[in-house]
Structure 1
Amino acid sequence: MPPVGHDDALCPARRLARMAGAGMTSPPASGHSRISNRELYAVAGMTSASAPMFERRRRILRETQHMLAEQGLGGFSTMELSRRSGVAQRTIFNAFGNRDNLVALAIRFYFEEFNLALADRFDVSTLDGALGKLTATTLRNLQLRNYMTAIVSLHFSPSAPAQVRAVTLAIGAGFFRDWLDNQRNRSLLPAEIDLGRLTRHIAHLEYAVINDWLVGAVEEAQVVDNMLQAVLEMLVGALDGDVRARLEQYLADVRESGPLSLQLKADGANAIAALSL
């Protein structure tokens, strides 16, 4: 097992952000995460390794995920986590450093399973694939109100630890990154637009749409259309040429609940129904 790099050992925020999943997704219901020993060794800052140690850390992460989904961040306590995972609180802090690192890591692995499950269904290097994955993810997130309340609260909290913000931002920024890279290669994304800043703004927008639902500003039935419309409006303002015209057509369709909008929702619902999570 390779040692943890010096920089990573000193900076858990950098470790977590580097390994964050792509797409603002939702937790696996089963809790059976595909966390490799190598990933767990690196991200959790382990300095020695054994099968029981890996399993103990996985058990702690699984229970953290379940507690966030059941109770949200406000109901999360390491004392209860200790009881449910069958380890001492000291063991939790020895394994993950502090509560913030633990929550950030659990969020990251929440997303990983869902992203892997959708990988074969949506090609996010294409506009249709990125929109399809965003739609499916939004539909799934609507089923997990407590979980999304925790994530959105963390994302917008001015006091959230840097490592938590890095994870939520990386997740939300991932939907359109590959497709926007392609547009830059085609010279359809103007040089003055910073790709990293644009994807961060898209992430903030996605979380804001979910927050509108959480606070009761919009009905659940409106959330997917609001999400698609908000993101398409931002992309229209950023892109040039034929792709901008295509985005404008898609935006008009969503505003009218046209065939594209209906197809995205149907494909998203089918993708969620087919998941074995």
Structure 2
Amino acid sequence: MKASDTKQSKQKADDDGNVERRRPYARTFDKRRREILSTAWTMIAEAGGSEFTLQELSERCDVALRTIYNAFGDKDGVVAAAAAAHHSDTLEVFEFDDREVWSLSEAICMTRRIAQETVRFPGWSQVTSEMYFSPRGPVKLFASLQQMPTSILRAWLRSDQVDLKLLRAFGQQALEASHADAQWGVVANWCAGRIDEAQVEDLMVDNFLVVAMSFGNRAGRSLAKKMVLDK
């Protein structure tokens, strides 16, 4: 065997060994990361964003403050990651993924679920709605929060109940942004005391039905109209 081949074999063995040594740490930190986000979610739900501090989070999780900063960047990064994790868990109840295709009835069902989650955690809803509409909010956080209502909308837009020609003419991105603003507006109005708890679900469903009546094909509009009349 050539000396170069021997050297390459040794290097590969060393690299493989390093990978094997890193894997347990990666799995351990992955678990720790989930614990941090779960604790952050609980703290914000209990006391709202004004009382939530990374120092207390580090103490509750028994993890160094520097570790939290390294993993998430800052407080907004923790909030964004916790929001995304909670939203993902909620969608998993319905075995939802980014390729899912939903009928209008299924999309409305999930919209109701999100509305129910909203009123269950008023402290969390307040801090996230404030961050969504903040002009100084981080782009990453805004995108994460915007994805909550738009992921449901996208699942319906893949269905055979949509007028694709009209959707292309208007622009899916513009529609998603408008819908997300409307849904987060409901959350913000509830947190401000402008609407009561029961209205949150009704208004979120209404917002989705408006989209369906505007961008549905004949079948989609017909079903949306029936849902409105049956309310």
| Length-normalised TM-score, structure 1 | 0.67
Q: C-alpha distance in 2, partners of 1:111/1:190?
A: 26
Larger radius of gyration: 2
Partner of 2:5: none
In structure 2, what is the Cα distance between the partners aligned to 1:48 and 1:210?
41
- Alpha-carbon distance in 2 for matches of 1:115, 1:198: 21
Equivalent position to 1:208, from 164, 174, 185: 185
Aligned ranges for residues 73-92 of structure 1 at < 5 Å?
73-92=49-68
**Higher normalized contact order (CA 8 Å, seq sep 6+, divided by chain length):** 1
Q: Secondary structure at the match of 1:197?
A: helix
Q: Which runs of 5+ in 2 are unaligned?
A: 1-21
Q: Which amino acid aligns with 1:82?
A: S
Matches within 5 A, 1:1-277: 49-119=25-95, 125-183=102-160, 187=164, 189-254=166-231
Amino acid at match of 1:67: M
Amino acid at match of 2:59: R
RMSD: 2.6
CA deviation after TM superposition for structure 1 residue 149, in Å: 1.0
* Residues 240-269 of structure 1, C-alpha deviations (whole Å, 9 max, x = no match): 434223322222323xxxxxxxxxxxxxxx
Structure 1 gaps, min length 5: 1-45, 255-277
Asked whether the equivalents of residues 161 and 218 of structure 2 are also in contact (C-alpha less than 8 Å), the reply is no
- 2 CA distance for matches of 1:106 and 1:146? 14
Q: Distance in 2 between matches of 1:242 and 1:175?
A: 19
Tell me the alpha carbon deviations over residues 5-45 of structure 1, each in whole angstroms, 9 at most, x when there is no partner: xxxxxxxxxxxxxxxxxxxxxxxxxxxxxxxxxxxxxxxxx
Q: 1:208 Cα shift?
A: 1.0
Distance in 2 between the 1:187 and 1:95 partners? Answer: 41
Q: Supply the distance in 2 between the matched residues of 1:193 and 1:47 (Cα, whole angstroms).
A: 47
Given that residues 212 and 220 in structure 2 are in contact (C-alpha distance below 8 angstroms), is that contact kept between their aligned partners in structure 1? no
* 3-state DSSP of counterpart to 1:74: coil
Q: Give the 3-state SS of the residue equivalent to 1:192 in structure 2.
A: helix
Structure that is richer in helix per residue: 2
Do 1:172 and 1:204's aligned partners in 2 also have CA atoms closer than 8 Å? no
Closer/same/farther in 2, CA of residues 249 and 50 from structure 1, 3 Å limit: closer
TM-score by length of 2: 0.79
Q: Aligned AA for 1:154?
A: M
